[in-house]
Amino acid sequence: MLNRYNELWNKIDNEDTRPRFARHIIEMAYDEFEAKVLEQNPGFVKETVESLYSGDVYLLKNGFSKQFMERLIDKVFHVFQSGPSRFYKMLEGCPNFHRIHDEEASKKYIFQSVRHSYYWFPWNGDSMGVNQGIMKRWRIFKFLGGFRLDEYENNTPKDGVVDRFQVARYLPGIGRVETHSDPFQNQRFFISGFMSKRGVDYEKGGFYVVSPGNKLKDIEEFVDVGDISIGYATILHGVDLVDPGRPVDWAKNDGRWWFGVYSNSTDAVPNRAIGKPVRISLTRES
């Protein structure tokens, strides 16, 4: 299928003008958004590419059913309990693994992120029975970013870029991600799937973007379980400390769960594209 987004991205996207700050939050039903992306009406193509490149963050309601997310949490929690925390480089044959990113492990990374993550890859089958449902939606964002619908889908690490699924538990008391920007080379947007609801599953913190003047712009306020959020990858974002002061328990399943997909550069290529930390102090947007 001809990709009209690609043409426009090639025209406007360059090193000097990529967005660093978020502008508006645009809410839309996911189904409506998906249909419009595939329709490629020239007006929608232009408007949406320009909007995303200007820093608008889209909150797409009901991208997944609540039940899909609840079941996925159960399955991942089961994986967390079924074996030790591991780490593998993204090289040929890389298995799925879960990893505890505690404060100690987090120090080894270029930006602090405290969470418990499960990473899984398309070449290892679909033991949880969720890959097709996720891919169906991921393809829409790939296409919107100017890529083929199935870009990278069948790649393995030797190809240099692979699709990686992740579910993370941001546990109460310490779960967080420092403000950063994501690599934009392989995937033009951050893609966040919301699995928990603030005020129900946890009380404080969660996903934010940074708006002009280094203001922390809270996204969770508008979020329901099953929503998907996308924004241009270089927009500064992070996860504000979840439920400060609560006792830390890595073995439980409470707190904030999150689901994310990324087309990662693998360890089989030199100088792989990685995220960048940004050390700034943020003020809260009132």
Binding marks (x or -) toward Fe ion, 175..194, rule CB under 5 A? -------x------------
- Of 172 and 231, the one with the shorter C-beta distance to Fe ion is 231
Q: Min. distance of Cβ 137 from Fe ion in angstroms?
A: 18
Q: Min. distance of Cβ 24 from Fe ion in angstroms?
A: 20
| 201 touches Fe ion by CB under 5 A | no
- Of 45 and 262, the one with the shorter C-beta distance to Fe ion is 262
- Of 37 and 210, the one with the shorter C-beta distance to Fe ion is 210
What would the 3-class secondary structure string for the chain be? CCCHHHHHHHHHCCCCCCCCCCCCEEEEEHHHHHHHHHHCCHHHHHHHHHHHHCCCEEEEECCCCHHHHHHHHHHHHHHHHCCCCCCCCCCCCCCCEEEEECHHHHCCCCCCEEEEEEEECHHHCCCCCCHHHHHHHHHHHHHHCCCCCCCCCCCCHHHCEEEEEEEEEECCCCCEEEEEECCCCCCCEEEEEECCCECCCECCCEEEEEECCCEEEECHHHCCCCCEEEEECCCCEEEECCCCCCCCCCCCCCCEEEEEEEEEECCCCCCCCCCEECCCCCEECC
Q: Min. distance of Cβ 180 from Fe ion in angstroms?
A: 6
- Of 3 and 106, the one with the shorter C-beta distance to Fe ion is 106
Q: Min. distance of Cβ 182 from Fe ion in angstroms?
A: 4
- Of 149 and 274, the one with the shorter C-beta distance to Fe ion is 274
Nearest residue relative to Fe ion (C-beta): 182
Residues in the interface with Fe ion (CB under 5 A) total: 1
Which part of the chain contacts Fe ion (CB under 5 A), choosing from 37-45, 72-80, 174-182, 242-250?
174-182
Region 63-92 residues binding Fe ion, contact defined as CB under 5 A? none
The residues binding Fe ion (CB under 5 A) are 182
